[in-house]
Structures are given as structure tokens and as C-alpha cells.
Structure 1
Amino acid sequence: MTTIDVIILFLSATAAATISGASGFGGALVLLPIVTHIVGIQAAIPILTIGQLFGNASRVYFNHSSLEWKPIVLFLITALPLTLIGSYMFSQVNGNKIKIGVGIFLILLVIYRRLKLTNKHIENKGMLLGGGLTGFISGIAGSAGPIGAAFFLGLGLSPTAYIASEAFTALSMHITKSFMYSKFDLIGQKEIALGLIIGVAMILGSWLGKEIINRLSQKSFIFIVEALLVVSGIQLIITGIYN
């Protein structure tokens, strides 16, 4: 790995974390192809997991006063055990079909929201379902931020409450994945070093994202998040087909 590669990783991580800081997700989807190109997919997932520990922790810190604990707890009840299961299966399962399915799900979800087929917000059972789905896919495919974001968006929270609450659950899942990856010797000194570089960049990006959402109206914020969900869905479908 060259110095140029490290600089590219740092700048890319800053940009990715800015997106995540402003929308609650998307950073990993932007960063994963870049990290994969530099270090390979098997190393990329653990490295991103370490980096996202910093990214999500900083988003929680910058928005901690807006945390909504009830949906967080409900989400994590199912997310954490299924993150463990997904992480265990990480090296044994081809995640391409899962990516395609997730991509289709995200696009259909936004269409559903735009058509306003219902005015009801997601309730307790929905958060339990969302947590389990997000945790499993996060463990097995490396990232499931858009899925978790979609469920938290359905709660009708303020932008900062949405960002902080989703980030707290993501942080919890990344800690769980880090434990599993280290247990199966997927995290070494190289992964830790690169993860720390990405992590520092993500702290900067999270701060920039916080500044952005402070300047957005609720309507604009929701539109941006939904647009990113569609983009993420398309990207997942494409990478699932061509990887």
C-alpha cells in the first residue's frame, strides 16, 4: 500500500462520513468499493467496521441530546443476536444475492412512502423486525445502514434524533461485529491501522454532516434521505449482479 492509497482512503472516508452524518447512512456503501479495491474484500469489511466505530460514535456524540431510547432498545433486542449470527456466516456465504434483495427492498420502500399508502408510523413490532433484518445483513454483508435508516425514518423523528438513534444502534452492531471478526482472526495489525485512519477521517466527516443537517428543513431532509435510499438500492443491485 502506498502513501497515495492512504490519502485516498482518508479523503474518501471524510466524504463518506459527511454523507452518513447528514443522512444517517450511505458512508459504507460509498467507501466499501474503494477500500475493497485497495485491500480486497476480506480485509475491507473488518477495516470498515473499525472505521465505522468512530464514525457512528462521533454521530452519537454530536447529536446525543436527541437520542430516542425506546426504539433504540427495541431495535437492538433483535439486531445484536442476529449480527452475531451474520458475522459468524460472513466467511461462508456469498452476499451478492442478499445485496440484490436489499436493493430491491429499499427502492420499493421509498416508492411505498412516496405513494403514501399509509399514514401510520412504524411501531414496536416494526423496530423489532428492522433490528433483526439489519443486524443479520450487517453481519453477513458488511453493512446494512440503509435498512436501519429506513426503519428509523419511519418513526417520524426529527433529523438529529433520527441521526443519533440510528447511529447508536449501528455503533452497537459494529462493536458486536468487531468482536466476532477478531475472534475469527479477521482483524490484525494492518486492519486496525487502516481502520484507525478511516476512523479519524469519519469523525471529521460526522462533524461536517452535523453542520449540514442543522441547515436543512424537515421536508428537505426526508427528501434527501429517500433519494439516497434509492441510490443505495440501485448501487446494491448493480454490485450484487456484477461482483
Structure 2
Amino acid sequence: MNKLNYLFLLLALVAEIVGTVGGFGSSVFFVPIGNFFFDFHFVLGLTALFHLFSNVSKIMLFKKGLDKKLLMNIGIPSVIFVVVGGFLTKVMDSFFLEIALALFLVCLSLLFLIKKDLVIDPNKKNAITGGVLSGFSAGLLGTGGAIRGLTMAAFNLEKSVFIATSAFIDFFIDFTRTFVYFNNGYIHKEHLIYLPFLLVIGFLGTYLGKRILNYIQQDKFKRISLVLILLIGLVTLVNVYYKIA
């Protein structure tokens, strides 16, 4: 653990770029990737620290697009339930929860991709529900951005608004769960060797992702996000398969 895993760092950069393009953050790829290299609890601690850097960079680059009302409706329940999920990681078997999350992401993203005209009402109730589920998942499994992405995709937000609002919500989630994971004993000195590299990756990946976004038309943005979420679910299922193989 004292030596850097350079393949992991390269894949972390890819996760950051893709997460920026998708608008739901890098943890949806970063966590499944990390689980191939490290134990689950180590990945939780590493993800929380990495995402703090990642979301600061997104806030700096996309802050003008912030939707304050959606930030409150999704962000507050997310922060509350990330604490609940974080504490439950000590008593619940994450193996079955990873399977459930993967199936949920695959089925729901396929539903939106196949039923293109399906609309979820962009109301306060749906925003709060999405916040609760994404926050709880972030605390319990290390990633809740895809669930939040599905919720926010239903609101048909403009690209910069989607990314900025998601980044602000994610920042408060990560700030909160860092303390929970530290209390659980998931954050320790072995993480420190990766922090300088993840700081650079967070800013570089966000910058490259933003440049790529300049070439993506708005009408294609939602579909790209849903396809990426589908891939996330499939990657998670593959990861679970390798654990039991």
C-alpha cells in the first residue's frame, strides 16, 4: 500500500473526465475501479477525499450555472442521509448492496433510454426523494452521483446548470461523509501518498471534461448521461462477479 498504483491513477483520470461529461461526478466510476485494486473501506475513504478536490474544481469552472432552489431540495436531504448511510457501512454487508445498486442503475437507465418520452415531474417531492436516495447511496456504497444524475436528468437542465448544481451538492456530501468515514476508521495514513496525485487529477480531469462538453449538443447531453450510467451499472456487476469468481 506504500507504493503508488499508476494504473489506478490513470483510470482515476478517465473516471474524472467521464464523470464531468456525464455531469454526475467521478465516484460512479471511481468506486468500481477502486474496488478492483483496494478493499471496500479503503476505497470509501479515498473516494471522499478525492471528490473534495474534484468538486472544488467543478465549482470553480461551472459556478455560474448554480440552481439554488434545486441545491436546497436535493442537497439538504442528501447531506442528512449520507450520514445515515456512512454509519451503516459498519454493520451492513456491502456485497448485496452493490448488486442492488448495479441492477437499479441498469434498469432505470434502460427505461429512460428506451422510453425517450417518459417524463418525471420536476417537482419538489421528486427532488427530495432523489436527494435522499443519492445521499444514502453515497454514504453506504461510496457513490450516489448516478442516482442524483437520474433525478436531475428528469429536470432537463442546461449543461452548465446540471454540472454546477450537482458539484455543489456533491461537495457538501463529501465534506460530511469525510468526517463519518474518519470516525469509522476508513481514512488513514496510507491515503496520503495518493492525495497530491488525486488533487492534480481532479483539476485536470475536470478541465478536459469541460473542453469535451463544448463539442456536445444540448439535445445529446441527457442521452450521453444515461448511457454512461448504464455502463456504470454494468461495470459494478462485473466487479461483483470478480469478487465471487
Name the TM-score, length of structure 2 as normaliser.
0.89
Q: How is 1:33-112 mapped onto 2 (pairs within 5 angstroms)?
A: 33-112=32-111
Give the aligned residue type for 2:216. Answer: L
Aligned CA distance change for structure 1 residues 178 and 160 (closer, same or farther; 3 Å): same
Paired residue for 2:15? 16
Distance 1:233 1:36 in 2: 14
Q: Write the deviation string for residues 144-199 of structure 1: whole angstroms up to 9, x where unpaired.
A: 21101111111111111111111111111111110111123321222244244223
- Deviates most, 200-209 or 119-128: 119-128
Cα drift, residue 202 of structure 1: 1.5
Paired residue for 1:179? 179
Q: Where do 5+ consecutive residues of structure 1 fail to align?
A: none
1:128 corresponds to 2:138: no
Cα drift, residue 107 of structure 1: 2.8
CA root-mean-square deviation: 2.1
Q: Could you tell me whether the CA contact under 8 Å between 2:62 and 2:164 is conserved in 1?
A: yes
Cα drift, residue 24 of structure 1: 1.7
Name the TM-score, length of structure 1 as normaliser.
0.90
Distance 1:203 1:87 in 2: 26
Aligned CA distance change for structure 1 residues 39 and 103 (closer, same or farther; 3 Å): closer
Q: Could you tell me whether the CA contact under 8 Å between 1:9 and 1:198 is conserved in 2?
A: no
Distance 2:200 2:105 in 1: 30
- Deviates most, 187-196 or 161-170: 187-196
Q: Could you tell me whether the CA contact under 8 Å between 1:50 and 1:196 is conserved in 2?
A: no
Aligned CA distance change for structure 1 residues 227 and 34 (closer, same or farther; 3 Å): closer
Cα drift, residue 74 of structure 1: 0.5
Aligned residues: 242
Paired residue for 1:144? 144
Aligned CA distance change for structure 1 residues 56 and 26 (closer, same or farther; 3 Å): closer
Distance 2:158 2:110 in 1: 21
Q: Could you tell me whether the CA contact under 8 Å between 2:110 and 2:230 is conserved in 1?
A: no
Cα drift, residue 97 of structure 1: 2.3
Cα drift, residue 230 of structure 1: 1.1
Distance 2:164 2:138 in 1: 18
Distance 1:158 1:52 in 2: 23
1:165 corresponds to 2:175: no
Distance 1:3 1:97 in 2: 31
Paired residue for 2:155? 155
Q: Write the deviation string for residues 109-139 of structure 1: whole angstroms up to 9, x where unpaired.
A: 2333341454454211001000101111110
Cα drift, residue 44 of structure 1: 1.5
Distance 1:150 1:216 in 2: 19
Sequence identity of aligned pairs in percent? Answer: 23
Distance 1:19 1:242 in 2: 23
Q: Write the deviation string for residues 3-45 of structure 1: whole angstroms up to 9, x where unpaired.
A: 561x333322221111111112363243334433444222121
- Deviates most, 151-160 or 109-118: 109-118
Q: Where do 5+ consecutive residues of structure 2 fail to align?
A: none
Paired residue for 1:198? 198
